[in-house]
Amino acid sequence: MKKLSFLMMLALMLVLAACGGAEDPADPADDGADTGEEAEGGETTREFTDIAIMTGGEQGTYFPLGAALANNIINAHVENVDAASFASGASVVNINGLVDGDADIALVQNDVAYYASEGLHMFEEDGALEGFQGIATLYPEVVQIITAADSGIATVEDLVGKRVAVGDLGSGAEINARQILEIHDITYDDINEEYMGFGDAANGIQDGNIDAAFITAGLPTGAVEALKASKDINVVEISSDKVAELADAYPYYTEFTIPGDTYGTEDTTTAAVLAMLAVSTDMDEDLVYDITKAMFENTEAFSNAHQQGTNITLDTALDGMSIEVHPGAQRFFDEQ
């Protein structure tokens, strides 16, 4: 009897094991690291995700707006996401950051994004880049040629022979500088170019080490405001005829007037492009949808961070969009 009882117990144990008493570690559905947890109502929550946002120099416009996007919009209104923003060399560096996987979202100029997607100008050597798409356009990026009021520089032609800060090497501002000089028949051979960010350029004008600086950013730009606080400045005009010539050659430029009360100067005609938000093509469609939705439901976070944030609106979100829109963002816009 004891032997029979033992055999019956052994058989029962084998039956229980065959009915699923042990997990199959090879089943991906049982791997909690690969799937979200099921919430009440059958919905699946998002896995916890880190997002890196590349902005620009700390005294530019990208930096505070990128910080607002990370901290006051994404972290505050998108579940299971931890976003962090970082200073960078801006547009060209940021596009490469998206392509290389160093960033998930980046602020860039719409002209630079187009050049990257088509393999033009500064991207010609490596060819067209892939791996990034648009979320939305944001606000005008204004080309500002800043000098000390006593510099004697009144026109673009007066930059010949001068020490000119043209932006970080390969940045959007630096490309703008090249193109604007070009339509005035000026090259770097005609000036003493200095590659530096906005803050360093402003300090250079303050110290007398730089005669002029090309700065492409939203108004007002922190570096220019800081300079204005300690030194009288001048904003060099680009004539309407030259802006039209520039736009013929590079279609993402438009004419823009810098109001005199921006920096305490006279109204000044110049050129502008558009700032936009780009995203890695690999980012999950639902996540991009949620980020886009959070942005346009909480635009006050942008306006609280910088004056240019008031120009970020749903009505203009696709104006001047120069590259393909990410499906997640497009889905949001299609629903409006």
Helix (H) or strand (E) holding 135: strand 132-148
Read off the pLDDT of residues 219-251 as tens digits, 9 standing for 90 and up: 999 999 999 999 999 999 999 999 999 999 888
Give a yes or no: residue 157 inside a domain: yes
Statement to judge: residues 168 and 77 lie in one domain: no
Residue 117, domain extent: 50-139+275-335
pLDDT, one tens digit per residue, over 149-163 is: 999 999 999 999 999
**Co-location of 292 and 212 in the same domain:** no
Q: Name which of 190, 192, 178 is nearest 246 in CA terms.
A: 178
**Boundary-marking domain end, from 273, 290, 316:** 273
CA-CA distances (angstroms) from residue 219 to 183, 243, 248?
24, 19, 25
Last residue of a domain, one of 230, 252, 273: 273
What domain count does the chain have? 2
Answer yes or no: is 40 within a domain.
Answer: no
Q: Domain for residue 238, yes or no?
A: yes
Q: At which of 235, 254, 273 does a domain end?
A: 273
d(CA 304, CA 64): 10
Mark whether 146 and 269 lie in a shared domain.
Answer: yes
Looking at residue 234, which CATH number applies to its domain?
Answer: 3.40.190.10
CB count, 10 Å around CB of 42?
Answer: 6
- Tell whether pTM > 0.85: no
Tens place of pLDDT per residue across the chain (336 aa): 433 343 334 343 433 334 443 334 334 333 333 334 444 444 557 789 999 999 998 888 999 999 999 999 999 999 999 999 999 988 999 999 999 999 999 999 999 999 999 998 889 998 999 999 999 999 999 999 999 999 999 999 999 999 999 998 878 889 899 999 999 999 999 999 999 999 999 999 999 999 999 999 889 999 999 999 999 999 999 999 999 999 998 888 889 999 999 999 999 999 999 999 999 999 999 999 999 999 999 999 999 999 999 999 999 999 989 999 999 999 999 999
